[in-house]
Structure 1
Amino acid sequence: MSNGRILIVEDDFDISNMLRIFFTGQGYHVDVAARGNDALELCRKKLPDLIVLDIMLPDMNGYEVCKVMRTTTRTSHIPIIFLTQKDERSDRIAGLELGADDYITKPFDIEELKLRVRTAINTYKRHNMTDPITGLPSSRLIEDQLRNLMRTKDWTYLQIGIDHIEPFSDEYGFLARDEVLRFTTLLLNEVDDEHGTLDDFVGHATSNTFVLVTKAENVTSIVSELRQQFDEGILAHYSFIDREQGGIMQPDGNLVPLMKLSIGIVSDKAQRFSDIREITETAAEMRRLDRDKQAQQ
């Protein structure tokens, strides 16, 4: 089990390579970027749990990278530790004002950096910021996102549930269930990368429910792509027999169908909402209708 995913943004190869080897040995997945734009691109493909960010980069400085991260919805929650040769108070304050979580000065003590990395990741998880299984923003960050929605326009809120996951978990176990949640997370991020915008938000609301807030105009393509790819990909999580019979046979002779997505969609284009509870309750009702419709098919 990985301790988390770290993105090292550092143009000095010796330093970045040393950090990559060290943190890989500590049980982390490590990605490395030598330029600020490369870091932003890597974050689009796979969100890290933490970013170690050098201030002096060849294309844009670390402050600019941090500002983009903090003002882009999908990366706004990720902890950032600045790595810098500067030890001036004004530089540290500038970084912290932009939303960095910590800083460490070169030459640094690797054990100290290890502790700061671990503390930053654990703090976010402990404060209910991210889900421990999927790494996605969870309840508090979702609430913050919904409050932001009330002040903006042209958004669509999708509540996405995995139906029939409880019987699957009973049959295959919690580890298999966690793999389904991680598969769904990957799918949501990939589909949103292709069809959504950088201001979109993907969250993990409850054990089997996800949230996607998108500014994309063509939401229909997102929904159809999610359904199609989920239906295809979920088959790999079942045994050959269950795939062939289309579900899990219960002791009483009833067949529990294969897992599917049920999706509730609400938009400010269709109606006005007075508070965030109204958004979530309307989406939950739309999801129930979608689930009933699919059960009849």
Structure 2
Amino acid sequence: MKIPSWPAWLPYPISCLKGFVLSYAFTSTVKAQFPLQTGDSLVPIVIGAWIWVALLFSFFHWVFTSGANLLLTHLPQKPSFDNLRQHLTTWSSSKKPHWKEGLNAFIISFVTSILVSFVVFSVIPAPSRLDAYKNNSYELRQAMIQVRFALIPIGMTITSAYLYQYDLWARRRRAAKQEKRSQNSTAPTAKQKRRSSAATNLPAPNPIEQELNQLSADAGATRMRPVRQAAPEVANWYVFRSGKAEGPYTALQLWEIQKITARTKVRRGEGDWQRAGEVSELTKYLTQQ
């Protein structure tokens, strides 16, 4: 039986848990200072709640990563604990700093509290304190405030869960791009693979003896020197093509595969780049263009 994948429109449990803790930590901090005295402002209390949420989530992140490291050191080496060990390794190896978790909590709590409060206060208007005393509707005002305090954390939980889910998706997408970029920079291209496979099938005749035979033929000699296979040459030459280094190649492969000219940039090993025409030992391997 195939297990269905997690619905794309539903946040993961970890996102819902973070949203729940953030919302109720924020609203409980504000509610603890309610009701206000006459002339008091709610703004300092809300700012304090935002800062408290940021500090709380930074502390939680430190506790979870430290706890994961501690469990990994004491977890028995049994196959039944492999899945748990994998999850703990993921938590403990997280490179996300503690302060960044707190910063995310601050931003998410700020956005969700402003958005949800605006919606709730617009849908459920409550009479002011002065109107409540004038119209003898103080109990109605208190009931409206209680309804608001019940709806705001629920709305913040739902909204922040989706924001945490988006943050998780964005971090995974960024990590996937970085991994793909690193693989593309290290993996050989199809053109390089074809070149390397062709290079392995090429014979390695001694170019000096080839030149001697050519001179003898030009002079009219009928006997040629036997061409022996040259000793294997170390492939330590690199060619600068299309903004990157290609190689390594032997000197013969520079001539037969890369078709280097006097203006081609080459280097040996980790040396400096220079024109092939400036390297004396590559003079006989240059292609005239």
Q: Which has the larger share of helix?
A: 2
Q: Same fold (TM over 0.5)?
A: no
Q: Which has the larger share of strand?
A: 1
The TM-score, its normalising length taken from structure 2, stands at 0.21
The TM-score, its normalising length taken from structure 1, stands at 0.20
Bigger radius of gyration: 2
